[in-house]
Amino acid sequence: MTASLTLRPLVQVGAVTTADDLPLAGGPLRFHQCEAVVREGIRERARAVVGAVQAVAWAEEFGLASDAKDLLHRLSTPRPPFASLDLGQPQVMGVINVTPDSFSDGGDRFDPARAIADGLAMHEAGASILDVGGESTRPGAAPVPPKEELHRVVPVVEGLAKAGALVSIDSRRAAVMAAALDVGARIINDVTALAGDPESLALAARREAPVILMHMQGEPRTMQREPHYDDAPLDVYDVLAVRVAACEAAGIPRARIAIDPGIGFGKTVVHNLRILDQLAVFHGLGCAVVLGVSRKSFIGRLTGAQAAKARLPGSLAGALAGVARGAQVIRAHDVAETRQAMTIWTAIAEG
């Protein structure tokens, strides 16, 4: 079995100051050490903390020097704009669920006029992207008929786009993606990483739409039934690497791809925490990194905050932990609060 290498930057806040420092993806973070891991399939062969500039020599022992060079290049190269957004500063994606049953705000914006008004308020509060979804993907959720999903999302996407907002369509169906793009959506956000519908890859390539590939183990109805990983961050990384390669093969370049490790989607509390802690490893894929922790159930399990809307403090803590590890887009229900917290964090980081 072929060996594979991952490099996880041990991130520090602040600009590059020495020859041993490398910038992390062009943002306000740097690293001069990384955790190097060599695996054959799921079997770990070696793991060590090495200096970033020594990583190539360390990997050469396993015949992976070229891989190390590629990874260091991807880790340290500034990301191009994603859907015209500057990724040198963290961005906020506002969540607009046009559903009666989403886990945190089901029914709040089921009326299209309310959804559009709230979306525009999020835009004014600092959301760079408005993410419109018409199907709940909470644990245990049943699929929504395509016609119903279209009925829910199309008028909202159209209204927000006409008002000048940058809109993403949160769907796993190519027909819904296409209809949303037709009325002004510019980004596709898919919880199946464009694997759930055989038409979605070709559609995204043909329409030249930026895409967000999210990781999910299983599907919403079953994903929380004893999810298992040998090493959660690296297993998720491997799955997303396959999906990025599939996108490239279909004609979607990495500059138009963002990845999302899918916190809460087929993962336990421990899995979520390990992925959050090791989030910087995903920059080895050479794509923008999106993170959604807002109001997730792991916050409730850790803090006792059972009501989703009572999890704002935990959501902000998770968002800032993600930004400190290189997340470039934070998906949030509470936009104004998230934007304010990130503004202060960034100001301190750039001190």
Instruction: Report the C-alpha gap between 30 and 17 in whole angstroms.
Output: 9
What's the token pair of residue 332?
A: 């949030």
Tokens 């992976």 label which residue?
A: 64
Q: Helix or strand or coil: residue 15?
A: coil
The CA-atom distances, in angstroms, between 273 and each of 233, 254, 302 are 10, 27, 11
Which residues pair with residue 29 across a beta bridge?
A: 13
Nearest to 238 by CA among 249, 226, 230, 227: 230
Query: Catalytic residue numbers?
Result: 296, 331
The residues pairing with 23 across neighbouring beta strands, listed in sequence order, are 30
Round to whole Å and give the CA distance between 118 and 94: 10
Rg of the chain on CA atoms, in Å: 19
